[in-house]
Amino acid sequence: MGRRAAWTHTLDYLLMTLLAAFFLFPVVIMLVSSFKPDDALIMRHMSSGMAFVPTEVSLKNYRDVFANVAFLKALRNSVLIVGSIVAIGLFVNSLIAYGLARFRFRGRSLLVGVIIALIIIPFESIAVPLLLIVNRFGWLDTLYVQAIPFIADAFSIFLFYQFFIQVPRDLEEAAVVDGASRFRIYWSVVLPLSRPIIATVTILLFLRHWGQLLWPVMVARSVEVRPLTVAMQQFFGQQPREWGQIMAFAAMITIPVLIVYLLFNRWFVQSIASSGVKG
């Protein structure tokens, strides 16, 4: 290795470390501040390197969040909403995708075309009419109004469809010879083969819905049904701001997801990479 190559390596490491600092510092400040029991102290430290020094490790802010914002209820709501979107969504979307990928019938290619076209519709462009509809149904301020509209998802169907048309038919044909029903084949032959795509869709749906704010702001204001995002938005809006508690609240939303991400890091990266469809 020449001297020049060694130089560029050093430069690369320097750049990578600076970038790492840039992406880490807000999260570190959040975590360190959340353990400081006094808001005046947090603010005083914030304008210096002390923002990174855990001068005190107190759980006071965390206790206060549990007492003041019904944290567990909001967490339960978020888990229930996102959990049912993912669980029911995986089933409903893979089922139609399998039907489209394996069965020959009139209108098949039209249906595939329509579903691909639907991917382009962003949620923001249906939010207000959807609000009018669910209001007519009397669904406002419930948990299910936050889940049901998102179960069927054109992009998930598309991802499953792309996966299924690549799966070789041999195994399924063997099952047909054995007299298994079509649903049986889908359920116990094809789905077990589909773990990679199931992981991908799960991660993409989770990331999209865990942080959702626009829809729950419109349909879920009460403490009983609001998810973590709305609880945070409402707590953040209260004056004067309790920064210690806000940071503890933020840490409790963030850290569990970060841990899951660190454990399944490779899967996350692969999912995002495969969402970048080529054309």
Site for another protein in 9-28 (CB under 8 A): 9, 12-13, 15-16, 19-20, 22-27
Q: x/- site string to another protein, residues 99 to 128, per CB under 8 A?
A: xx--xxxx-x--x---x--x-xxx-xxxxx
Supply the minimum distance, in Å, between the C-beta of residue 7 and another protein.
12
Stretch that binds another protein, among 53-61, 68-76, 167-175, 206-214 (CB under 8 A): 206-214
Cα–Cα distances in angstroms (integers) from residue 231 to residues 32, 71, 75, 220, in the given order: 22, 8, 9, 10
Say whether residue 276 binds another protein (CB under 8 A).
Answer: yes
Task: Tell which positions 216-275 bind another protein, by CB under 8 A.
Answer: 217-218, 228-229, 232-233, 236, 243, 246-247, 250, 253-254, 257-258, 261-262, 265, 268-269, 272-275
Say whether residue 3 binds another protein (CB under 8 A).
Answer: no
Supply the minimum distance, in Å, between the C-beta of residue 58 and another protein.
18
Supply the minimum distance, in Å, between the C-beta of residue 209 and another protein.
11
Say whether residue 80 binds another protein (CB under 8 A).
Answer: no
Say whether residue 98 binds another protein (CB under 8 A).
Answer: yes
Could you report how far apart the first and last alpha carbons of the chain are, in Å?
Answer: 41
Say whether residue 207 binds another protein (CB under 8 A).
Answer: yes
Supply the minimum distance, in Å, between the C-beta of residue 133 and another protein.
6
Supply the minimum distance, in Å, between the C-beta of residue 36 and another protein.
12
Task: Tell which positions 152-191 bind another protein, by CB under 8 A.
Answer: 152, 154, 157, 182-183, 186
